[in-house]
């Protein structure tokens, strides 16, 4: 068992805390590690892409599964992936064999374990739901050392507590995932500009009926008549007939570009009102008014930010946070109100993403629900805390919620209002972890029982 | 746990009757502050801020901590720390200013000043550091002073005590690197407060509220050294380089100007 005392932060690089990091070798080590850290608690950590403190436990133990990265092919396009497998590895494995992951987040740098714990969604949520909807089973190491394979049929309550459960029900060891078949590794993409938020939302809703994937980038710096202007991207997997020439010889070729790294961390944040405005203006102008039938690679359609491996450092030493919330479809006026407040707040949002979500699942702490989700990146600055507290109230008032995997600043009293199945989650926790051995800084901060 | 915006959920303050401490608590209370442990010389004289915090829904515990007898009150502090659970911020805010001429005459009051300002601050911060190291996070705030930067005829004993706090604070910050615990050393200039009541303003004087906001910001940024106001940083970078004779004349003239008000 290798163990190091290390400082850890989330992707937002906000408050670091120190913990003993164990790179798990044998599965049987889990109970010993948990017992040793019983006063502070332990939590599993993948690639550290949660924005806040979900994969931190100050003074306690962090379990990584970087040595648990096996992928086994099962019949009927299913695979069993160990928790430490990254989406980068998984996509690289399955695409050349004519399959794709059923759900992919905006980065390939997350592990299967982390993805299940956050019940991640992707650009196809309106059609395909979140990751949990494509899992046959999850193998879990319970805090007492018992290994369990749970599925919606076998211990449904534990299964639905585990997906989206932020790692608090056990150490996720592996999962059986149902893949989707693809004919080529390319995407057919349609891009359209919309001059304001209303037009953007209407175009998105319309396009979602015809396309598997959709996402919109929104300018929340521009105010007035330009408020919420944006660019909508719809996409589908290209069929073999869509591909011609050299690409048709190797339709499933998958060669992600090597990521580049920013060589040094800027001493001050580079994202401010002026740079954010310039960035948004540029992005809007460089996007085509309307373009159909463009072929794009999987990395450029799904994971454009992966081109730079450490883009999070541009926010400087204070770090940044991502505010992602969802409101039900009938509360689109709340979404517009929040967009208006963000645009006029003066807090710079360099990167804002809008997406329509389909119905949620039975996950007790899963984020998605049918409606609109908006994800906004903000540099941490004075006053951002109170500003977002006000937005939380609007979100709760509309029957929506904030995404735990992104959170780093919510008030604990918001949690039961946003996650009404919290008491059921608490019951599962009492059953599988009566001693409270699993704990994260996020769970402590938000008083998730 | 402290959140990404640097808002604590639990704080411990020693010297909770200080104006700067009360102002800082007021700022934190606007956030998710849930627990405050307030150490004061005389718990019967409960600090006004305690009532305000309780009214805001914060759980408050007032306990006895007399910095002049720090060594005999350390067990009580340890007991509070033991029971407190996670502590996001420990703010050491007590201190006495003294009158330089009196301190030179009455040696026991000079000793008391050094005990309160230097010794008690140092041992209390060590006690906090020990506890916070176990939890792997936390910020300790100690209050230094520009008076500790370069000795002046009219306040060098106070200055010496603050120089000790300053050196200790920065050294402790280095010692705690990698532990998750941070130390914030605040170097205010003249602050309008009970401590300086009736005194003439020095240049760049600030209110206790402004000093508190600087502390809150330094905690958020985990900045080891913070000048209040910030202009004192570059100013003292220059003043430190002056030849001693020039510095003495300058300090003397400044003292005379303030005496005549």
Instruction: Identify the band that residue A44 occupies on the pLDDT scale cut at 50, 70 and 90.
Output: very high
Instruction: Please list every residue in chain A whose beta carbon sits closer than 8 Å to the beta carbon of residue B4.
Output: 12, 14-15, 52, 319, 321, 380, 408-409
d(CA A198, CA A196): 6
Q: Is residue A16 part of a domain?
A: no
Shortest distance, CA A129 to any CA of chain B (angstroms)? 30
Which residue in A7, A380, A385 is closest to B178 by CB distance?
A7
For A288-335, the pLDDT digits (tens) are 888 999 999 999 999 999 999 999 999 998 899 999 999 999 999 999
Domain count of the fold of chain B: 1
Q: Which residue, A36, A301, A233, A217, is CA-closest to A143?
A: A36
Asked whether the beta carbons of A187 and A238 are under 8 A apart, the reply is yes
Cβ separation B222–A60 shorter than 8 A: no
Q: Around Cβ B238, how many Cβ atoms within 10 Å?
A: 8
Q: Which residue, B82, B176, B187, B166, is CA-closest to B138?
A: B176
List the A352-357 sheet strands across, edge first: A290-297, A186-194, A230-237, A213-218, A352-357, A371-379, A320-328, A401-402
Residue A191 sits in the same domain as residue A174 = no
- Please identify which of the residues B158, B169, B172, B216 carries the catalytic annotation: B158
pLDDT of residue A283: 87
Residue A156 sits in the same domain as residue A234 = no
* Mutant choice from B4, B26, B56 vs A, greatest count of A C-beta within 10 A: B4
Domain boundary pick from A151, A182, A213: A182
Residue A145 sits in the same domain as residue A224 = no
Residue A92 sits in the same domain as residue A241 = no
pLDDT exceeds 90 at position A351: no
The more confidently predicted of residues B77 and A408 is A408
Instruction: Identify the band that residue A1 occupies on the pLDDT scale cut at 50, 70 and 90.
Output: low
Q: Pick the residue from chain A with its C-alpha nearest to B138.
A: A17
Q: Is residue B1 part of a domain?
A: no
Q: Is residue A347 part of a domain?
A: yes
For A247-299, the pLDDT digits (tens) are 888 999 999 999 999 998 898 899 998 999 898 888 888 888 889 999 999 99
pLDDT exceeds 90 at position A350: no
Query: CA dist B209 to A384, B16, B50, B205, Å?
Result: 20, 14, 17, 12
Please tell me the least confidently modeled range out of A355-359, B45-49, B88-92, B111-115: B45-49
Instruction: Please list every residue in chain A whose beta carbon sits closer than 8 Å to the beta carbon of residue B139.
Output: none
pLDDT of residue B261: 58
Residue A377 sits in the same domain as residue A265 = yes
Q: Is residue A49 part of a domain?
A: no
Residue A152 sits in the same domain as residue A223 = no
pLDDT exceeds 90 at position B47: no
Give the domain range for residue B67: 10-260
Q: Which residue, A410, A398, A448, is CA-closest to A164?
A: A448
Domain boundary pick from A164, A182, A200: A182
Cβ-based contacts under 8 A for chains A and B:
81
* Helix, strand, coil % in chain A, rounded to nearest 5: 35, 25, 40
What does R_g of chain B's alpha carbons equal in angstroms? 18
pLDDT exceeds 70 at position A179: yes
Percent of chain B with pLDDT over 90: 82
Residue A193 sits in the same domain as residue A335 = yes
Instruction: Please list every residue in chain A whose beta carbon sits closer than 8 Å to the beta carbon of residue B86.
Output: 58, 444
pLDDT of residue A150: 98
Tell me the H-state helices in A83-196. Answer: 87-94, 112-117, 125-128, 156-162
Asked whether the beta carbons of A28 and B20 are under 8 A apart, the reply is no
CATH number for B82: 3.40.50.720
CATH number for A270: 3.40.462
Residue A105 sits in the same domain as residue A242 = no
Which residue in A18, A318, A319 is closest to B136 by CB distance?
A18
Instruction: Identify the band that residue B106 occupies on the pLDDT scale cut at 50, 70 and 90.
Output: very high
Q: Is residue A310 part of a domain?
A: yes
Q: Is residue B45 part of a domain?
A: yes
Give the domain range for residue A160: 71-182
Q: Is residue A367 part of a domain?
A: yes
| Known catalytic residue at B158 | yes
Residue A162 sits in the same domain as residue A222 = no
Q: Around Cβ A183, how many Cβ atoms within 10 Å?
A: 15
Q: Pick the residue from chain A with its C-alpha nearest to B133.
A: A59
Q: Is residue B3 part of a domain?
A: no
Cβ separation B5–A380 shorter than 8 A: yes
For A402-420, the pLDDT digits (tens) are 999 999 999 999 999 999 9
Q: Is residue A80 part of a domain?
A: yes
Q: Is residue B5 part of a domain?
A: no
List CB contacts of A4: < 8 A, sequence separation 6 or more.
A20, A21
Shortest distance, CA A444 to any CA of chain B (angstroms)? 7
Residue A247 sits in the same domain as residue A351 = yes
Q: Is residue A18 part of a domain?
A: no
CATH number for A166: 3.30.465.10
Q: Is residue A247 part of a domain?
A: yes
The answer to whether A385 contacts chain B (CB < 8 Å) is yes
Mean pLDDT of chain A: 95
Domain count of the fold of chain A: 2
d(CA B116, CA A373): 55
Q: Is residue B204 part of a domain?
A: yes
Cis bond before residue B229 (omega within 30° of 0): yes
Please tell me the least confidently modeled range out of A57-71, A210-224, B247-261: B247-261
Name the phi and psi angles at A313, rounded to 5.
Answer: -75, -10
pTM of structure: 0.94
Q: Is residue B256 part of a domain?
A: yes
Residue A114 sits in the same domain as residue A221 = no
Q: Pick the residue from chain A with its C-alpha nearest to B9.
A: A445
Q: Is residue B210 part of a domain?
A: yes
Please tell me the least confidently modeled range out of A66-80, B22-36, B45-59: B45-59
Q: Which helix (H) or strand (E) holds B169?
A: helix B156-175
Chain B residue set in contact with A, beta carbons under 8 Å: 1-7, 9, 30-32, 34, 86, 134-137, 178-180, 217, 220-222
Q: What is the ipTM of this complex?
A: 0.91
Torsion angle of C-alpha atoms A309, A315, A318, A322, degrees rounded to 10? -80
Q: Which residue, A359, A365, A360, is CA-closest to A421?
A: A365
Q: Is A254 exposed, middle or buried (0-12, 13-18, 19+ CB in 10 A)?
A: middle
The answer to whether A384 contacts chain B (CB < 8 Å) is yes
Cβ separation A58–B180 shorter than 8 A: yes
Residue A225 sits in the same domain as residue A314 = yes
List CB contacts of A278: < 8 A, sequence separation 6 or more.
none
Instruction: Please list every residue in chain B whose beta carbon sits closer than 8 Å to the beta carbon of residue A6.
Output: 178
Q: Are strands B35-40 and B59-64 parallel, antiparallel or unpaired?
A: parallel
pLDDT of residue B9: 97
Q: Is residue B133 part of a domain?
A: yes
Angle formed by the axes of helices B208-221 and B19-29, nearest 10°: 60
């Amino acid at each position: 068992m290798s163990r190091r005392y290390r400082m850890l932060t989330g992707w937002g690089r906000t408050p670091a805390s120190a913990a003993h990091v164990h790179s798990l070798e044998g599965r049987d080590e889990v109970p010993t590690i948990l017992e040793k850290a019983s006063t502070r608690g332990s939590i599993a950590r993948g690639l550290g892409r949660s924005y806040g403190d979900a994969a931190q436990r100050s003074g306690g133990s962090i379990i990584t599964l970087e040595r648990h990265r096996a992928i086994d092919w099962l019949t009927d396009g299913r695979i069993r992936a160990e928790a430490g497998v990254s989406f980068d590895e998984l996509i690289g494995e399955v695409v050349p064999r004519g399959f794709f992951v059923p759900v992919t987040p905006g980065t390939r740098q997350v592990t299967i374990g982390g993805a299940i714990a956050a019940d991640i969604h992707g650009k196809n949520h309106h059609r395909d739901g979140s990751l949990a909807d494509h899992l046959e089973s999850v193998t879990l190491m319970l805090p007492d050392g018992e290994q369990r394979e749970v599925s919606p049929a076998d211990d449904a309550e534990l299964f639905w507590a585990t997906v989206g459960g932020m790692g608090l029900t056990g150490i996720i060891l592996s999962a059986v995932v149902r893949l989707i078949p693809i004919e080529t590794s390319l995407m057919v993409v349609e891009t359209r500009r919309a001059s304001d938020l209303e037009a953007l939302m209407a175009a998105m809703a319309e396009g979602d009926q015809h396309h598997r994937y959709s996402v919109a980038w929104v300018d929340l710096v521009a105010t007035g008549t330009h408020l919420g202007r944006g660019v909508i991207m719809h996409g589908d997997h290209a069929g073999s007939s869509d591909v011609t020439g050299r690409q048709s010889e190797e339709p499933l070729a998958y060669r992600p570009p090597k990521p580049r790294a920013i060589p040094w961390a800027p001493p001050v944040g580079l994202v401010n009102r002026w740079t954010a405005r310039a960035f948004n203006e540029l992005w809007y102008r460089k996007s085509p008014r309307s373009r159909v039938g463009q072929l794009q690679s999987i990395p450029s359609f799904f994971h454009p930010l992966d081109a730079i491996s450490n883009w999070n450092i541009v926010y400087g030493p204070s770090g940044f946070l991502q505010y992602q919330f969802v409101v039900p479809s009938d509360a689109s006026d709340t979404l517009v109100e929040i967009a208006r407040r963000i645009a006029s707040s003066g807090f710079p949002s360099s990167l804002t993403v809008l997406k329509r979500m389909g119905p949620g699942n039975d996950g007790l702490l899963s984020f998605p629900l049918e409606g609109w989700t908006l994800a906004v990146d903000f540099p941490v600055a004075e006053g951002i805390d109170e500003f977002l507290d006000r937005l939380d109230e609007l979100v709760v008032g509309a029957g929506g919620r904030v995404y735990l995997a992104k959170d780093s600043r919510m008030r604990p009293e918001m949690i039961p209002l946003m996650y009404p199945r919290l008491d059921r989650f608490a019951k599962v926790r009492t059953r599988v972890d009566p001693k409270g051995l699993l704990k994260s800084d996020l769970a402590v901060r938000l008083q998730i029982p | 746990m402290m959140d990404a915006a640097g808002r604590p959920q639990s704080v411990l303050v020693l010297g909770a009757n200080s104006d700067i401490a009360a102002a800082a608590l007021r700022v934190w209370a606007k956030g998710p502050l849930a627990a405050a442990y307030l150490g004061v010389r005389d718990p019967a004289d409960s600090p006004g801020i305690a009532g305000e915090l309780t009214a805001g829904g914060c759980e408050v515990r007032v306990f006895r901590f007399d910095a002049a007898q720090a060594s005999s009150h350390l067990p009580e502090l340890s007991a509070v720390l033991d029971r407190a659970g996670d502590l996001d911020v420990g703010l050491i805010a007590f201190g006495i200013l003294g009158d330089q001429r009196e301190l030179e005459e009455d040696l026991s009051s000079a000793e008391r000043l050094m005990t309160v300002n230097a010794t008690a601050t140092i041992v209390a911060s060590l006690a906090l550091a020990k506890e916070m190291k176990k939890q792997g996070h936390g910020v300790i705030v100690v209050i230094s002073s520009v008076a500790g930067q370069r000795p002046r005829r009219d306040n060098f004993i106070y200055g010496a005590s603050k120089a000790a706090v300053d050196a200790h604070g920065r050294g402790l910050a280095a010692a705690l690197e990698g532990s998750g615990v941070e130390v914030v050393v605040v170097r205010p200039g003249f602050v309008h407060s009970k401590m300086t009541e009736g005194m003439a303003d020095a240049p760049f004087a600030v209110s206790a509220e402004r000093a508190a906001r600087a502390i809150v910001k330094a905690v958020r940024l985990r900045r080891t050294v913070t000048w209040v106001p910030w202009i004192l940083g570059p100013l003292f970078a220059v003043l430190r380089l002056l030849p001693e004779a020039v510095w003495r004349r300058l300090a003397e003239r400044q003292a005379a100007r303030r005496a005549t008000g």
